[in-house]
Chain A
Amino acid sequence: MTDESLIHARGLVKRFGEFTAVAGIDVDVRRGEAFGFLGPNGAGKSSTMRMIGCVSPPTEGELRILGLDPRTDGPAIRGRLGVCPQLDNLDPELTVRENLTTYARFFGVPRRVARSRADELLDFVQLRERADSKVEPLSGGMKRRLTIARALVNEPEMVLLDEPTTGLDPQARHLVWERLFRLKQQGVTLVLTTHYMDEAEQLCDRLVVMDGGRIVAEGSPRSLIERYSTREVVELRFVAESQEVYADKLAGLGERVEVLPDRILLYVPDGDAAVAEVQSRSLSPASVLVRRSSLEDVFLHLTGRTLVD
């Protein structure tokens, strides 16, 4: 491993009794990159994040965080990490500002520094006006922003974000993305889990797709789309009780035809050419949509639900 490998995992396993949450994964995250764990619920993303955050001992395998061993150097590692958990666990007995200053004290940040840093972070996440409010009346988006601010009080080298925008409305999601992007520009290493494809495409330089505790694909969003999907996707809707009847008639069109209950997807290099071919077979779908292939297509292809190849 190199010095700049902030996370280095080989054959990492996490079991809870009989249940295997993480079934042997290899991961390397380099300094300064934004790295994503993508996968459906129960894929083992959160368990992996907890092991990386040194709050869950690995069952088996090798794990080095910031070049240190979580088994023996937990406090030293955690002191250099920022963690934004999936469920906000802010302190309900403290105000917004106190949540930051008190948390900073857990990292041994001097009081005066903690106060000035709290003010800077409140500006950063746009919560300055709510500084003296309790946590309870804040909206979901505000709580999440405060949790992100809290993860930054120790000026961490690496920030772990477990589903940072799950449950937020679109405005709040975009604000969080924008702040995370700024952090990345400042050179902070970001590690996040998500099951939102747009989030992964927006934020991640590199990602792994997890399913059933294993890594099923790895690469940049672009390279994954190139490898596991086609350049374009044509979505066809037919007015019929079942889309199935049209599947045969579309056979041979593009690299892959996927029949869903409400529409048919054609994975093709050239969408317009494919639409022309559909019309030349005298099929008349009720609606036609040609779009660029997305990470979602990769994701669905890799983690199941493909019916026709």
Chain B
Amino acid sequence: MVTLALPRLFASGGSAGRALSMVERNVSALRGAYWIVVATGLFEPVFYLLSIGVGVGALVGDIPLPGGRSVAYAVFVAPALLASSAMTGALSETTFNFFGKMKFMRLYDGILATPLRPMEIAFGELSWAMVRGSVYAAAFCVIMVAMDLTSAGRAVIAFLAAVLVGFAFGGVGLAMTTFMRSWQDFDLMSSAQFALFLFSGTFVPAESYPVVLRWLVEVTPLYRSVHLIRGISIGTWSWVQLLDVFYLLILFVGGVTVAGRRMGRLLLK
């Protein structure tokens, strides 16, 4: 799948540049409102970290890890919040905003009359979501280091992993949005997203779930993301994390491919 889709994404030289012009459009549309965007995306995970990681953590005490080590609750929760905020950031841009632009602003109808192809628009929109998401992830990593929840070196790698998580969920978000019929469909998605946020080993180790449930949880994308970033930030990574990386890459490539094709079918009638 990777070898099929990637050459097409970057083919014919101008493709990347054309996708970038889509990002430029979004920067223009933001204008002076940069700080609002940054603030809203950053506050949520920080509030969770303070209220649950630090607040509830004071009641919970240390969490034992599978390896036998135990860590403070905030150390356990922080990487999961980084992963889930990467998910939330990517999804909000690639679902609500993307849907609004496609169905209501009819933005892409005009853009498709230019040399841009549907795949390039999808990739441009995803890149833009990643620019936003990366700002949040970087800021959150700085806070983690400042609160001594991880080391600076591990935070840098965790940041890169968070960007990958964003790309994966962004790709999936774009693909899902091309199937949405109305705003009501988004309620379903929000519920699913919230369930993922609560049960992906975010606040409680997945090992504490019954076996069947545990298997179910472990195949979900947010669990794989939390597993990857937690392994990095706590320093307990092994080859299993490579599996997470591979899983997320497949989501990303599959998502963008489906989104590009579906956009073509929806808009180029």
Q: Which residues of A contact B (CB under 8 A)?
A: 16, 50, 53, 55-57, 74-76, 78-79, 81, 83, 85, 87, 89-94, 98, 101-103, 105-108, 150, 154
Contacts and interface: CB of A to CB of B under 8 A. Distances in A.
Contact of B28 (A16, A81, A94): A94
A218 to B, nearest CB: 27
Interface of B is mostly: helix
Nearest to B109: A89
A108 B115 contact: yes
Interface string B100-126: 000001110111111111000000000
A53 B18 contact: no
Given A90-B110, A91-B107, A106 B21 contact: yes
B127 to A, nearest CB: 15
Contacts of B112: 55
B115 A98 contact: no
8 contacts: A75-B14, A79-B115, A89-B106, A91-B25, A93-B29, A98-B28, A102-B25, A150-B110
B24 interface: yes
Leading 8 A-B pairs by shortest Cβ distance: A106-B114, A75-B115, A93-B29, A89-B110, A83-B113, A105-B21, A79-B115, A89-B106
A237 to B, nearest CB: 45
A176 to B, nearest CB: 19
Contact of A91 (B105, B117, B268): B105
Contacts of A108: 14, 17-18, 21, 115
B69 interface: no
A94 B27 CA distance: 10
Contact of B109 (A85, A106, A154): A85
Contacts of B110: 85, 89-91, 103, 150
Interface string B1-34: 0000000000010100110011011001100000
A76 B115 contact: yes
Contacts of A55: 112-113, 267-268
Contacts of B22: 106
A75 B117 contact: yes
Nearest to B112: A55
